[in-house]
């Protein structure tokens, strides 16, 4: 139980890991958005 608490605390205290997760999520969202927009534009111009 103590191990779990320490793990959670260290994760909460380190903003590095959290920000990296957010950046990865943002990159994934942007790439999906870019693919969707590109597909729609391609469809419109076709």
For residues 32 and 46, which has the higher predicted lDDT (pLDDT)? 32
pLDDT reading at 13 higher than 60: no
pLDDT reading at 5 higher than 90: no
For residues 20 and 19, which has the higher predicted lDDT (pLDDT)? 20
List Cα–Cα distances, 27 to 14, 18, 22, 33, 45, in angstroms: 21, 14, 9, 10, 27
Q: Which helix (H) or strand (E) is 2 found in, with range?
A: helix 2-13
Residue 22 confidence (pLDDT)? 83
Residue 44 confidence (pLDDT)? 77
Q: Dihedral (C-alpha) 13, 15, 20, 26: value to the nearest 10 degrees?
A: 120
């Amino acid at each position: 139980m103590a191990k779990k608490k320490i793990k959670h605390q260290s994760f909460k205290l380190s903003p590095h890991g959290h920000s990296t997760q957010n950046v990865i999520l943002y990159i994934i969202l942007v790439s999906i958005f870019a693919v969707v927009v590109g597909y729609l534009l391609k469809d419109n111009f076709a």
